[in-house]
């Protein structure tokens, strides 16, 4: 059997498995049913892909999303793996061709939609061949309790029961226990190996901001993240369109996406995003399912999401490649009112209200946000993550008793019959008609809170609502009401502690400051990264495949740091397997070599650049002596460069610089003097054999003895 780790290196170009991947692969290879729960980007696909390559027969992957199928198959092909898909987008002729390839065993992995799988045609085909495994991707679709139920998924369990001794692998990023049990039961998995990964995504930085000046903040943000892909989630279709419009007016290329558009339009937008033709998508939550794009660098929530499940899934689309990514959520009282309004009309009111409250708790949190998220998913996490706004910018508490007393007494004086906006106007002493008409200027609290801005008032009211000091009558004009607890503040002098609102500049500035003092080498790496990205984009257009399938951002970042200039070095880069080396290796090396040479011409020496310069001139058929003159170096230095390059596997004909007899003589001398220093050997031959020949001989001799 082929070793999984060998496939990982040769095909995918990765050095080692992640925490649970190997365990899952081994279970499947042993023929066990396996359930894998991992967050988005956790690396689920490699599990069944490698297991299928290790076992006899063809791996059958059932996947509900056509875009995802296409993406994975393209990605496998680019790694030199024989994979195809069968779904409703193909002509009968195409399907027939694939079927015949399945029969003659020239395909290792076949992706099928559940609808196609259930046809007689495919059933008969599968019955005739050897199957290595059934992988059921997005397995939560089987659960009626889940958010993505697909009726066809129910039939899969019975269907695959007809195929004895074929392991079933179910994969999902939905973690809850009910769904988990449902999957095992529906797929009739026998004593399954259940592998549950941590749902933490440490590379995603979590940030929440109050929603004032939302658009300006977004503008600053996208300008600071130039040329990066990102999604802006909005609650309404109208907002997606207006934000995209406003961004375009500012010269930023953005598109919108929502369920009200034609299927064709939606597909085009998605395609533009996947292929880096447009960087920013303003979308409703209809967008993102079935997108595998690994280089989404940020996700902004323009509005508060309905629940944490949805929120986590949406931000999880960022940073699949493991590189740093940002999540930014705007939080406003209006959204809470709006969402509560939707919930009023639902028949699951209590559950939904509860979920929304948990979402608010997250947004309001004064402790590490990651703790709230992971605890919500029942995962133990009790340290501070250091990668959220609360950790980086701990909120400053202050004694807010007087502010609270003013607010509560304003509510009291309007007989608990007014919404937030009126109360703030009263506190701030507004002279607008509605206030005057109601004679509120005569209230004792009128103007009592002029010293606090309207925005801060809103923020403090929200905190008091969340503390239980104030209640909102969502079903009755959103009037604010007093509670048992508010009486204690009003009449028993109970202390209230509040925090000041976070300022966008603070959250964004700490980030900028942190990344500011860049070393010279990282600035250069950035410059090279841009060039590598440009080459990737060019190739993507040429071949009609998404850029991230060619190489992930993570792979390009590693290239720009390690500067591989030869195939063996390039193969060491994570994400460069043999197939990608053959297709793309040399052209990326060329860009790196050119860059390194430019740098050394500018006097900015890169590690190893002196060798590359020599190598470059050697490639132009110059002799070592000519190279020495050109580079103003000693010829011995050039010979030693060539010997070094040779040792590194570069194709250099060293033997043309030395006779075999000389090598033989030097071999004898090495036996006496060792191979560490040249001088004793040079002296031994009374300086009749030149230094450079000794240097070259040592390389050739040590190669022989290895
Ligand atoms: P999931 O299906 O769980 O969302 P993917 O299978 O798409 O995740 O993997 C996410 C990213 O991580 C991909 O770019 C993938 O190539 C990469 N990856 C997976 N396993 C490894 C590994 N062992 N080492 C390095 N990168 C990996
Ligand atoms: Zn934190």
SS3 assignment, position 498: strand
Q: What is the pLDDT of residue 493?
A: 87
Determine the distance separating the centroid of ligand 2 and the alpha carbon of 337, expressed in angstroms. Answer: 27
* Best mutation site among 11, 17, 43 for ligand 1 pocket (most ligand atoms within 8 Å of CB): 43
Q: How far apart are CA 8 and CA 409, in angstroms?
A: 67
Strands 497-499 and 397-399, sheet pairing = antiparallel
Q: Quick check: 287 and 311 in contact, CB under 8 A?
A: no
Q: How far is the CA of 46 from the centre of ligand 1 (A)?
A: 7
- Look at the alpha carbons of 97, 101, 102, 104 in this order and tell me if their dihedral is positive or negative: positive
Query: For residues 284 and 296, what is the distance between their CA atoms, to the nearest angstrom?
Result: 16
Residue 300: the pLDDT is 98
Rg of the chain's alpha carbons, rounded to an integer?
32
Q: Which of 34, 27, 78 is nearest to 54 (CA)?
A: 27
Q: Which residue is closest in CA terms to ligand 1's atom 18?
A: 43
pLDDT for the residue numbered 228: 93
82 touches 110 (CB < 8 A): no
The answer to whether the beta carbons of residues 45 and 72 sit under 8 Å apart is yes
State phi, psi for 551 to the nearest 5 degrees.
Answer: -145, 145
What's the confidence (pLDDT) of residue 285?
92
* Structure token digits, residue 127: 């019955």
Distance 207 CA to ligand 2 centre (A): 9
Q: Whose CA is nearest to atom 22 of ligand 1?
A: 17
pLDDT of the residue at 377:
85
Nearest CA to ligand 1 atom 5: 43
The 3-state DSSP class for residue 46 equals: helix
Please name the residue that has the structure tokens 């590598």. 532
Task: Give alpha helix (H) positions in 104-260.
Answer: 114-117, 120-128, 151-154, 156-160, 177-186, 214-224, 237-249
d(CA 87, CA 116): 6
Whether the CB-CB separation of 589 and 616 falls below 8 Å is answered with no
pLDDT of residue 67: 84
Instruction: Identify the pLDDT of residue 161.
Output: 93
User: Residue 209: beta bridge partners?
Assistant: 330
Give me the pLDDT at residue 606, please.
62
Dihedral of CA 349/355/358/360: which sign? negative
- Gap from CA of 520 to ligand 2 centroid (Å): 30
**Residue carrying the six token digits 């209200």:** 353
Q: Taking the model in full, what pTM does it have?
A: 0.80
Please choose, from the candidates 496, 492, 468, the residue with its C-alpha nearest in 3D space to the C-alpha of residue 481. 468
Residues whose CB is less than 8 angstroms from the CB of residue 196 and which lie 6 or more positions away in sequence, other chains included: 37, 175
**Amino acid 706: pLDDT:** 57
Contact status, residue 368 vs residue 391, Cβ threshold 8 Å: yes
How many A from CA of 367 to the centre of ligand 2?
7
What the block records as the tokens of 302 is 């323009």
Ligand 1: which residues within 6 Å by Cβ? 14, 17-18, 21, 38, 40-46, 292, 294, 320-321, 552, 574
Low-confidence ranges of the chain (pLDDT < 50): 513
Ramachandran region of residue 194, left (φ > 0), alpha (ψ -120 to 50) or beta? beta
Report the distance separating Cα 277 and Cα 229, nearest Å.
Answer: 10
Mutate to test the pocket of ligand 1, among 5, 10, 45, 46 (most ligand atoms within 8 A of CB): 46
Nearest to 596, CA basis, from 605, 588, 587: 605
- Which ligand is nearest to the Cα of residue 37, counting in written order? 1
Query: In the prediction, which pLDDT does 520 show?
Result: 61
Nearest to 250 by CA among 276, 223, 282: 223
SS3 of residue 486 by DSSP: helix
Report which ligand 1 atom has the smallest distance to the Cα of 15. Answer: 24
Take atom 27 of ligand 1 and give the residue whose Cα is closest.
Answer: 43
Domains annotated on the chain, with CATH: 4-196 (3.40.50.300), 204-392 (3.40.50.300), 398-489 (1.10.10.10), 520-705 (1.10.150.80)
Which protein residue has the closest C-alpha to ligand 1 atom 12?
43
Those residues whose C-beta lies under 8 Å from the C-beta of residue 540, and which sit 6 or more positions away, are 275, 276, 546, 547, 549, 550
Cβ contacts of 197 within 8 Å, gap of 6 or more: 19, 20, 36, 37, 38, 39, 42
């Amino acid at each position: 059997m082929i070793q999984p780790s060998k496939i990982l290196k040769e095909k995918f170009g990765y050095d080692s498995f992640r925490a649970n991947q190997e365990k899952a692969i081994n279970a499947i290879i042993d023929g066990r049913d396996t359930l894998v729960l991992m967050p988005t980007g956790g690396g689920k696909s490699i599990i069944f892909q490698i297991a299928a390559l290790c076992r006899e027969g063809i791996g059958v992957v059932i996947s509900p999303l056509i875009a995802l199928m296409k993406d994975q198959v393209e990605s496998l092909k680019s790694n030199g793996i024989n994979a195809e898909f069968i779904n409703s987008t193909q002509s009968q002729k195409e399907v027939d061709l694939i079927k015949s390839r399945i029969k003659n065993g020239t395909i290792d992995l076949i992706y099928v939609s559940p609808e196609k799988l259930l046809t007689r045609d495919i059933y008969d085909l599968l019955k005739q061949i050897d199957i290595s495994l059934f992988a059921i991707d997005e397995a939560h679709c089987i659960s009626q309790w889940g958010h993505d139920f697909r009726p066809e998924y129910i039939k899969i369990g019975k269907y695959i029961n007809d195929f004895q001794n074929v392991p079933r692998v179910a994969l999902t990023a939905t973690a809850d226990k009910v769904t988990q049990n449902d999957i095992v039961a529906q797929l009739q998995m026998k004593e399954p190996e259940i592998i549950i990964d941590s749902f933490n995504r440490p590379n995603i930085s979590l940030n929440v901001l109050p929603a004032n000046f939302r658009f300006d903040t977004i503008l600053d943000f996208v300008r600071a993240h130039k040329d990066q892909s990102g999604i802006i989630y909005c609650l309404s279709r109208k907002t997606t369109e207006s934000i995209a419009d406003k961004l375009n007016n500012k010269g930023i290329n953005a598109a919108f996406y929502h369920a009200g558009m034609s299927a064709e339009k939606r597909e085009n937008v998605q395609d533009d995003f996947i292929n880096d033709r447009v960087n920013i998508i303003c979308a409703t939550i209809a967008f993102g399912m079935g997108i595998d794009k690994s280089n989404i660098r940020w996700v902004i929530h323009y509005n508060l999401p309905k629940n944490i499940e949805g929120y986590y899934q949406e931000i999880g689309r960022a940073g699949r490649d493991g590189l740093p990514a940002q999540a930014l959520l705007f939080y406003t009282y209006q959204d809470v009112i709006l969402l509560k309004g939707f919930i009023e009309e639902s028949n699951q009111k209590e559950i939904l209200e509860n979920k929304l409250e948990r979402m608010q708790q997250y947004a309001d949190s004064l402790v590490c946000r990651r703790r709230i998220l992971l605890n919500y998913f029942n995962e133990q996490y009790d340290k501070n993550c250091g990668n959220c706004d609360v950790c980086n910018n701990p909120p400053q508490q202050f004694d807010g008793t007087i502010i609270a007393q003013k607010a509560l007494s304003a509510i009291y004086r309007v007989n608990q019959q007014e919404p937030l906006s009126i109360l703030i106007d009263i506190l701030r002493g507004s002279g607008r008609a509605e206030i005057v008409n109601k004679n509120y200027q005569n209230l004792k609290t009128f103007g009592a809170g002029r010293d606090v801005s309207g925005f801060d008032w809103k923020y403090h009211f929200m905190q008091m609502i969340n503390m239980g000091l104030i209640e909102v009558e969502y079903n009755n004009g959103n009037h604010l009401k007093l509670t048992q607890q508010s009486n204690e503040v009003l009449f028993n002098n109970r202390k209230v502690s509040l925090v000041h609102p976070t300022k966008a500049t603070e959250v964004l500035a700490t980030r900028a400051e942190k990344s500011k003092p860049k070393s010279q080498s990282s600035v250069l790496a950035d410059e090279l990264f841009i060039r590598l990205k440009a080459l990737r984009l060019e190739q993507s257009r040429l071949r009609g495949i998404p850029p991230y399938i060619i190489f992930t951002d993570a792979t390009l970042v590693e290239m720009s740091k390690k500067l591989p200039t030869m195939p063996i070095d390039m193969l060491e880069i994570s994400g460069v397997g043999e197939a990608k080396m053959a297709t793309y290796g040399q052209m990326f090396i060329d860009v790196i070599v050119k860059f390194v040479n430019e740098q050394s011409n500018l006097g900015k020496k890169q590690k190893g650049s002196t060798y590359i310069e020599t190598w470059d001139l050697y490639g132009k058929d110059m002799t070592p002596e000519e190279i020495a003159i050109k580079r103003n170096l000693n010829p011995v230095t050039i010979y030693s460069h060539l010997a070094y390059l040779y040792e590194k596997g570069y194709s250099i004909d060293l033997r043309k610089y030395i006779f075999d007899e000389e090598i033989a003589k030097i071999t004898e001398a090495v036996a006496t003097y060792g191979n560490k220093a040249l001088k004793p050997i040079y002296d031994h031959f009374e300086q009749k054999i030149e230094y450079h020949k000794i240097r070259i001989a040592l390389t050739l001799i040590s190669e022989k003895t290895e």
